[in-house]
Structure 1
Amino acid sequence: MWGNSRVPEVKTTRVADAYLRLKEEILSNRMPSGFQAPEPEIATLLGMSRTPVREALIKLEAEGLVELIPRRGARVLPVSLEDMAEIYEILTALEPEAAAALARRRPSKEELSGMEQATLEMEKALTANDLDAWADADDRFHRLLLELHGNKRLLAMVSVLFDQAHRARMVTLRMRAIPEDSTRVHREILEGIAAGDEAGVAELFREHRKRASSELLDILKKFRLSVL
């Protein structure tokens, strides 16, 4: 009995490992849009058996990152202009309200330390002209805000959208202006939350998402990037 109880734990660990590794490859565009390979080949690339890789791919398919094709393996899905317009519309509706609710309860300096660190890293990354580090810190800022907000269902739902938006951002990052304004707004949002400025934080966040959406969609239209 005791020996059998360890089998699901080991399996779960391997599935989680395969899932995280594949997701990182996709989000970083090392497995770019359109990448396709049979499951055995993907398993070989990861140095793992097929079973955990298969289960990881099923989870990634549910998140809209890959498509499983019978007898042909898995394909990394594109993110279309329409997809990104829908994603940013949802983020623009949900994130400002979450930020306002967080400001309402005036989190402590300790609670905001993660967001403060992410903001500092964004500022340092700009100085160092390290856009990849900037994008990682930006992504972390948004996720930490929702974690502090505390609605687990909202975090789970929006995290999937964050992943898809992150892919688009990484592809178009060097086609945009240096994100100085975005970094400044993140600092202002953080200060507004600390000060309990619900209305100000909501407005800042809403305008921030609208500008980001407009900029991204304009790039996709201009360069006709129907797939990322």
Structure 2
Amino acid sequence: MPRRRGKARPLAACNNACVNAWVNAQSPLPPPRGATAAETAYQRLKALILDNLLPPGTQRLEAELAMQLGLSRTPVREAMLRLQQDGLVTVTPRHGMRVQPISAADMRDIYDVLESLEPKAAELLARRRLPEAALRPLAASCDAMEAALGTGDRVAWARADEEFHLGLAELCGNRRLSAMVMQVWDQSHRARMFTLNMRPLPERSTAEHRATLVAIRAGDADGARELYRQHRQRGGAELIDLIERSGLAWL
């Protein structure tokens, strides 16, 4: 299952001291076994971007990032180029990287892609007829969403929601489809976290996850696909409306 991210920060400018504090907080955590310096730089920079500690429009020089991460410039440069491939930054020679903004138009594009890919993943997973043990992570995510609703913990709910979506993609049996879903999901993470406290408690969304899981367990491929399509369509429309009504200029 995908790793859990920390509590998201508000979408606001974050100075070097803020970034340094985040990096220092991460230092006690050992890097993944066998991780290269480039992989470590990539994972840490990606987390800073997705958690809005490096918000849209932020410009950072390669040397500055290397100093903050305690790494040499070469792995940081490699990490920046990977982040550019992910669509999260733009890299300019001698000017470092600039974090890409996300607009309502961007989110429409992203949700068009998700609305095509994720329902197919649900269909494929239902057709696989996996044993209950293999589906246990999805059930656990549904349980966690329902528990978070009970306590009003939106961050815990968002974490469980993310684990359900990415877990379903991982289990669908199509590695290329799964990789595409995960890349697009990362691009939309910042917008989802920004709107998290602007929306009503996601009771309907939680029920839709549970209903999709029921269809998957039953091997109802058509039902799982249609339920997930409706869920993704409704959720995307809600998020885009919130962004538009917020009046936020991301650049």
TM-score normalised by structure 1 residue count: 0.91
Aligned to 2:51: 28
Q: Distance in 2 between matches of 1:43 and 1:216?
A: 35
Aligned to 1:100: 123
- CA deviations on 1:116-170 (whole Å, 9 max, x unpaired) are 1111121222222221221121111111111111111111122110001211101
Of the three residues 216, 220, 228, the one matched with 2:243 is 220
Of the three residues 113, 123, 147, the one matched with 1:90 is 113
Task: State the shift of 1:12 in Å.
Answer: 6.1
**Counterpart code for 2:86:** E
- CA deviations on 1:163-190 (whole Å, 9 max, x unpaired) are 0121110111111111111111111111
Q: Distance in 2 between matches of 1:74 and 1:149?
A: 35
Task: State the shift of 1:19 in Å.
Answer: 0.7
1:47 aligns with 2:60: no
Aligned length: 219
Q: Distance in 1 between matches of 2:102 and 2:219?
A: 36
Aligned to 1:68: 91
Q: CA RMSD of the aligned region, Å?
A: 1.7
Aligned to 1:179: 202
Query: Residues 11 and 206 (structure 1 numbering): CA distance in 2 closer, same or farther, change over 3 Å?
Result: closer
Task: State the shift of 1:105 in Å.
Answer: 2.3
Aligned to 1:198: 221
Query: Residues 224 and 216 (structure 1 numbering): CA distance in 2 closer, same or farther, change over 3 Å?
Result: same
1:120 aligns with 2:162: no
1:168 aligns with 2:191: yes
1:110 aligns with 2:94: no
Structure with greater proportional helix content: 1
Q: Distance in 2 between matches of 1:12 and 1:96?
A: 33
- Asked whether the equivalents of residues 124 and 173 of structure 2 are also in contact (C-alpha less than 8 Å), the reply is no
Q: Distance in 2 between matches of 1:158 and 1:104?
A: 19
- CA deviations on 1:83-115 (whole Å, 9 max, x unpaired) are 110110111112112211211222111110111
Aligned to 1:6: none
Aligned to 2:16: none
**Counterpart code for 1:119:** C
**Counterpart code for 1:121:** A
Q: Distance in 2 between matches of 1:227 and 1:119?
A: 32
- Asked whether the equivalents of residues 189 and 205 of structure 1 are also in contact (C-alpha less than 8 Å), the reply is yes
Task: State the shift of 1:73 in Å.
Answer: 1.5
Structure 2 unmatched ranges of 5 or more? 1-32
- CA deviations on 1:19-74 (whole Å, 9 max, x unpaired) are 11111111111111112111111112112111111100100011110111232211
Structure 1 unmatched ranges of 5 or more? 1-9
1:139 aligns with 2:162: yes
- Asked whether the equivalents of residues 79 and 226 of structure 1 are also in contact (C-alpha less than 8 Å), the reply is no
- Asked whether the equivalents of residues 125 and 216 of structure 2 are also in contact (C-alpha less than 8 Å), the reply is yes
Q: Distance in 2 between matches of 1:133 and 1:44?
A: 32
Task: State the shift of 1:11 in Å.
Answer: 9.6
Percent pairwise identity: 49
